Amino acid sequence: MLCRTPAITLAGMNVRPLCARPGCQGPTVAWLTYDYSGQRVWLDDAPVEGGGDQWGLCSGHAGRLRAPQGWTQLDRRSGASASASLAS
């Protein structure tokens, strides 16, 4: 006898992912990407597909982002006030 389970419908499949910071439930507004060999870190607008070495960040965490010492930090989001800065 086969037991059929009802189909499962997943709600919210088109919902933005949540911030990657532990404990944060904010919606992703920017993608954080690292280039370890080039010692660069940058932020892109959230509509860019995430993957690989990209992490979603909420607006609060994206705004407070600081690259490791000696790395270049780029903010490539539309409306970003400064396009590039050096981390100290």
Domains contained in the chain, number: 1
More confident residue, 52 or 62: 62
Q: Residue 38 — very low, low, confident or very high, per pLDDT cuts 50/70/90?
A: very high
Cα separation, 51 vs 59, whole angstroms: 19
**Residue 65 structural domain:** 30-82
Residue type for position 63? G
Its pTM stands at 0.68
Residue 48 counted as domain residue: yes
If residue 31 lies in a helix (H) or strand (E), which one and from where to where? strand 30-35
Residue 64 lies in a domain: yes
Confidence of residue 88 (pLDDT cuts 50, 70, 90): very low
More confident residue, 10 or 53: 53
The average pLDDT across 78-88 equals: 57
